[in-house]
A and B are shown apart, each in its own frame.
Chain A
């Protein structure tokens, strides 16, 4: 992986992302909202058009030529995803609508696998999408939802996690990387602990997949959910990796075409994996083109990406700390290229609105993780999240824009 590119040539990489080459409000765009969604390389953009121009057809049903080509391409993409995360089997890769859909699929299936009084553990660092489905499940079954707290640095407190685990724990769900703070959670160790207690584990990997090499077998995750759009692929397709034994246990998520073996009014039998979970016509084009995004990532190499983004993170942190009254929210020792921050008592909305006028795309608000903001007792933050096509020069531009905002608002 990544052996083709020995040095990381960011200018060459930027050339492959047409959207970056534009002016916003009269200034060259600086896109620092990568944790929300990633930009797409030309290979991905072209592949979408090419799909519709050459092989558009429905999958898994026609005997005709185009249908075969589309089906092959779709299944090839599944295989690429399998290899990318080192899953044991291709049929352990389920295509969904996105990370949220993947999590809901598992939560819905667990209705049949847990009972009143059982416990589910999540973390206080979760995105709403990894909170609400479990809350809904617990309300329905009258199971208990327990939450692993975090410390001042934004790291999950492992001793508290140990205390929460018990023979009542059926499932543990947490993110690999926090979208709001960038904390990289010690997933492998946490999974091992959950398994020792007899619980299954779902990892929300939406923020990890674009930034680091993920090996689901090495992690020993039972479920691993992520989205194409955050990993330079098209919007509208997500992935649920599940261990074969767990996917077999879960009932189908939705009924319809594609997910059945035989249908009569007396009895329907379901298709095997992965189709059991893929009712209806899927997002064919996005699924196929996700395969192109995987190729793109493999070519650059996730080790190269992770190393370069760490550089951006360090530089960004160092430059931000030049401001008086700078408060970086989330200072975990193990951190991905996300910086959540507050400048004195300036409101994130005010600062974000002004830097936007200067062409800088930052995220402001609670980042769909309200409990984290409550934990720090703040209304929200400004968030800069870097990707491998960003540069230190862009960070300098952000710093200048922040200085301007501070001057205007003080």
Chain B
């Protein structure tokens, strides 16, 4: 499924929720249910530091696609990571680099992506795109 299509799906899912509490409960659910990263990759080299919560991110190439795994010590952050991975993982590097992540705004969770929130999420998106960019470059040589 294309990145746009997945994002549309997520926006539709969130439209079912009446208030923030249901959204947060859903995020917490997502955060709890997903085994996100292999323990061997949960190392300092893969850490994206925010002052509020920490995020670990790992990228693999499978065929012509990038597959991400990630984790966080905060559950809300983990839930949001699950959404990012659902959107960007298993996609082509070109599409990842050009992906518009403004759907986070549409589902009313923009505040978690504010640069001042310092939870590592914004840096995580940058890092995801950076990995994709690196793989794109590798393809060209």
What CA separation (Å) do A408 and B118 show in the bound complex? 22
Would you call B15 an interface residue if the criterion is a C-beta within 8 Å of the partner chain's C-beta atoms? no
Q: Which residues of A contact B2 (CB under 8 A)?
A: none
Q: Which residues of A contact B54 (CB under 8 A)?
A: 379
Query: Interface code A337-353, partner B: CB below 8 Å = 1, 0 otherwise?
Result: 00000000001111011
Structural contact, A357 and B21, CB atoms closer than 8 A = yes
Q: Which residues of B contact A352 (CB under 8 A)?
A: 52
Contact of B74 among A347, A357, A366, A408 (CB under 8 A): A347
Would you call B16 an interface residue if the criterion is a C-beta within 8 Å of the partner chain's C-beta atoms? no
Query: Interface code B5-31, partner A: CB below 8 Å = 1, 0 otherwise?
Result: 000000000000000110011001000
Structural contact, B53 and A357, CB atoms closer than 8 A = no
A85 to chain B, nearest CB (A): 32
What CA separation (Å) do A366 and B49 show in the bound complex? 12
Q: Which residues of B contact A408 (CB under 8 A)?
A: 21, 24-25, 28
Q: Which residues of B contact A353 (CB under 8 A)?
A: 24, 76, 112
Query: Interface code B108-135, partner A: CB below 8 Å = 1, 0 otherwise?
Result: 0000100000110000000000000000
Q: Which residues of B contact A350 (CB under 8 A)?
A: 28, 74-76
Structural contact, A357 and B20, CB atoms closer than 8 A = yes
Q: Which residues of B contact A379 (CB under 8 A)?
A: 53-54, 73
Would you call A48 an interface residue if the criterion is a C-beta within 8 Å of the partner chain's C-beta atoms? no
Would you call B137 an interface residue if the criterion is a C-beta within 8 Å of the partner chain's C-beta atoms? no
What CA separation (Å) do A409 and B52 show in the bound complex? 17
Contact of A348 among B24, B28, B52 (CB under 8 A): B52
Closest to B51 in A: A365
B12 to chain A, nearest CB (A): 23
Would you call A380 an interface residue if the criterion is a C-beta within 8 Å of the partner chain's C-beta atoms? yes
Within 8 A of A (CB), among B41-84: 51-54, 73-77
Number of interface residues of A (CB under 8 A): 16
Structural contact, B24 and A357, CB atoms closer than 8 A = yes
Structural contact, B53 and A349, CB atoms closer than 8 A = yes
Query: Interface code A365-403, partner B: CB below 8 Å = 1, 0 otherwise?
Result: 110000000000001100000000000000000000000
Closest to B31 in A: A350
Structural contact, A347 and B75, CB atoms closer than 8 A = yes
What CA separation (Å) do A353 and B31 show in the bound complex? 15
B71 to chain A, nearest CB (A): 12
Q: Which residues of A contact B119 (CB under 8 A)?
A: 349
A349, A365, A409 — most chain B CB neighbours (10 Å): A349
A347, A354, A379 — most chain B CB neighbours (10 Å): A347
What CA separation (Å) do A25 and B54 show in the bound complex? 26
B27 to chain A, nearest CB (A): 10
Q: Which residues of A contact B21 (CB under 8 A)?
A: 357, 408
Q: Assuming the A-B contacts A379-B54, A408-B21, are A365 and B75 also in contact, with contact meaning beta carbons closer than 8 angstroms in the complex? A: no
Would you call A364 an interface residue if the criterion is a C-beta within 8 Å of the partner chain's C-beta atoms? yes
B50 to chain A, nearest CB (A): 9
What CA separation (Å) do A365 and B20 show in the bound complex? 23
Q: Which residues of B contact A348 (CB under 8 A)?
A: 52
Q: Which residues of B contact A349 (CB under 8 A)?
A: 52-53, 74, 76-77, 119
Query: Interface code A185-226, partner B: CB below 8 Å = 1, 0 otherwise?
Result: 000000000000000000000000000000000000000000
Q: Which residues of B contact A347 (CB under 8 A)?
A: 53, 73-75
What CA separation (Å) do A354 and B53 show in the bound complex? 15
Please give 8 more A-B residue pairs, beta carbons under 8 A apart, in addition to A349-B52, A408-B21, A408-B25.
Answer: A349-B53, A350-B28, A350-B74, A365-B51, A365-B118, A380-B51, A408-B28, A409-B75
Report A's interface with B, CB cutoff 8 A.
25, 347-350, 352-354, 357, 364-366, 379-380, 408-409
Pull 26 A–B residue pairs with CB atoms less than 8 Å apart, ordered by A: A347-B53, A347-B75, A348-B52, A349-B53, A349-B76, A349-B77, A350-B28, A350-B74, A352-B52, A353-B24, A353-B76, A353-B112, A354-B24, A357-B20, A357-B21, A357-B24, A365-B51, A365-B52, A366-B51, A379-B53, A379-B54, A380-B52, A408-B21, A408-B25, A408-B28, A409-B28
